[in-house]
A and B are shown apart, each in its own frame.
Chain A
């Protein structure tokens, strides 16, 4: 099972915007509109913040937005706040694994 590729870490100042990438292949990210993003604070369970590439679940701030181009999906967080500091994971439907699911390696966001 090959994980989707994410940058290990990103950092930005409060109030700014940041984009986290998630790169896969035509067998996952590029081939299907089933990319999700999860936020995980230390010691906590992941929280769904984006599904179906661009959709936000009820209750998730509109400061979180996402998109996809080719084999790369992106999560953008605008108006960064201290509470956004967390790990972010992408996931996608895939035909390259018998489970049909794959996660990214995760990105640590530091709000300076």
Chain B
């Protein structure tokens, strides 16, 4: 059974760094082609792609946010970590992690999402 779950702070102050952890089970991030992506959704808005980390450590970030994003992985803990620097109230959103199965460009399993509010 494949599961993913996001965890982290629910409230962050403007200019701070947001760190979210995606803990997964049922698959390995060392399997060729597999990736874990991050997607966010502001209240009442559409899904927004943030970035992805692949089995080989390769990262791909959204052009609009890449200067503020870092995604890392710890395969021993089955975790992927998203860091967003210098947050602003517009970063208030539900953040999802999801699995990219090899060799497809799709996301087949999603976490439940974690709501993060940016406010002073």
Q: Which A positions have Cβ atoms within 8 angstroms of B?
A: 1, 3, 32, 34, 36, 38, 40, 45-48, 51-52, 57, 89, 91-93, 97-106
Contact = CB atoms under 8 A, between A and B. Distances in A.
Contacts of A106: 46-47
B105 A46 contact: no
Contacts of B46: 3, 89, 103-106
A102 B49 contact: yes
A106 B47 CA distance: 8
Interface residues of B, number: 26
B102 interface: no
Given A98-B60, A98-B63, A99-B61, A48 B107 contact: yes
Residue of B50, B51, B62, B106 most packed against chain A (CB within 10 A): B106
